[in-house]
Structure 1
Amino acid sequence: MRTAVAASLAVVTVAGGVYLFGFDHDNGQKNGGGQSSATDKPSAPANKPYTPPSGYHIVTEKKFGFSLPIPDGWSRQEQSDPDGNTVDRTQEVRYLAPNGLVGLRINVLDFASGDQVQHFEDLEVGFKDKKAYPIYERLRLQETKYQGLPAAIWEFKFRGEVRMYRAIDLGFGKEGEKEYAIYLSGPDADWGTYRPIFDEVRNGFRILS
């Protein structure tokens, strides 16, 4: 039985660099519990002070120019995992839950796309490869705004090595400037537990001035 694995599910070349996304944290553990839905809430304005709730702490990523709330007990993935999947320290930060099944990734690219929805549709092509991902289901992909910036939200399900996963990805940025993506994935069966983590990170994410 393998230990917890953080596998990059796809690598797609885009303007400004390589956008890596997807976690597959399967370590043979069984997961129970049902799935509940969570509604989207507007993000706090970028200039509004933010205080993390109990169970979270603020992490400042000076190299990438942002700060965000991280659940207590989560660890920053600094090294490649046992399967050789690398962490691209030039444009991404990864955090893993203690159980190794839930992953948060923040990507930063040099140049934002002019169409955030199209950007995600281009990335989605990798998930439609039946050989790599026998099961993929888009739940939604739509245009939105985030902290006043053009944005898109993408939510989907996919099959990992042991179980079904669910993921949500928020991409945002002004065309020609920095582009950011906040991505969270976890077991679909327990999505009602993990989705609020994404909401908290989204609400507390701040671009440093």
Structure 2
Amino acid sequence: MAGQAPSAGPLRARTKPHRRTVLAAAAAAAVAATTVLAVLLTDAGGDPSASGGGTETSASGPSPTVQGTSRPPSLPPGVRREAGGFAWAPPDGWRRDVKTGAEVHYTSPDGRQELVAKSALARGDLLRTWQTSERNAHQGRDYRKIRLEETTFRGHPAVVWEYTFTLKGTPWHARLLGFNQDGKSYQISTWYQPGIEDQALRVYEKTKKSFTVL
């Protein structure tokens, strides 16, 4: 099916200190059925205007040079450019893990929250792609969909997918946000343990607000 499948997020298996992202998930093609929906986090993106994403503002766009070409937009301190054509400001002190040039993960020091940002070529209908991923990922334990719906993110069509699941006896909450812009699909998502929800959502909203398409 055309479109971008969200990448493996919360449902990804983890190894010792390095907690390997298991849900190889949907990122490039199909959802890793094993650990439920983590699949979402890689290629698609969906964001809920309802989750605060729609009110964020991005850094200023590129300005023309004297020769008529354009130069990269200036970014505020703390915002990091990524190879995937976007920039963001992940929390200080979190462990950085580059999966591919266009997919970057940050894990909190206590391992209870992870942030993911990535980009890919946009293909097909984003909602339909995520719905396919969701259907294919129902083998995970205690998976419960909270919402999977269209929305907008900074004026662009977007999809938000929120669900809970259990991994190795530990409950997790996932929030995936994806949107298409200028022929590319972007995703900024998080999964966290419910016990830190208030703090986790503050971190997520702040990071989403910093997300800038370059």
Q: How does the TM-score come out when normalised to structure 1?
A: 0.71
- CA distances 1:42-84 after superposition (whole Å, capped 9, x unpaired): 33233559868xxxx32111x2111111111112114xxxxxx
Match of 2:108 among 89, 97, 109: 97
- State the distance in 2 between where 1:203 and 1:90 align: 22
Partner of 2:87: 67
Secondary structure of residue in 2 paired with 1:139: strand
Post-superposition shift, 1:200?
1.2
Partner of 1:125: 135
Is 1:12 the counterpart of 2:22 in the alignment?
no
Match of 2:118 among 89, 107, 116: 107
Listed as ranges, the matches of 1:94-173 within 5 Å are 94-110=105-121, 112-129=122-139, 133-173=140-180
| Unaligned stretches of 5+ residues in structure 2 | 1-14, 40-49, 61-73
Post-superposition shift, 1:108?
1.1
- State the distance in 2 between where 1:127 and 1:155 align: 14
Secondary structure of residue in 2 paired with 1:168: strand
Secondary structure of residue in 1 paired with 2:90: strand
Partner of 1:58: 79
Q: Is the 8 A contact 1:170 1:182 kept in 2?
A: yes
Secondary structure of residue in 2 paired with 1:189: helix
Secondary structure of residue in 1 paired with 2:25: strand
Q: 1:4 to 1:13 in 2, by over 3 A?
A: closer
| Unaligned stretches of 5+ residues in structure 1 | 24-38, 79-86
Partner of 1:28: none
- State the distance in 2 between where 1:204 and 1:155 align: 21
Give the letter aligned to residue 138 of structure 1.
Answer: K
- CA distances 1:67-102 after superposition (whole Å, capped 9, x unpaired): 111111112114xxxxxxxx3x14311111111231
- Equivalenced residues, count: 172
Partner of 2:8: none
- CA distances 1:95-121 after superposition (whole Å, capped 9, x unpaired): 1111123111112112x2442221211
- State the distance in 2 between where 1:18 and 1:93 align: 19
Match of 1:190 among 191, 196, 209: 196
Q: Is the 8 A contact 1:141 1:155 kept in 2?
A: yes
Larger helix share, 1 or 2: 2
What RMSD in Å do the two structures reach over aligned CA positions?
2.8
Give the letter aligned to residue 191 of structure 1.
Answer: E
Partner of 2:38: 22
Q: Is the 8 A contact 1:10 1:126 kept in 2?
A: no
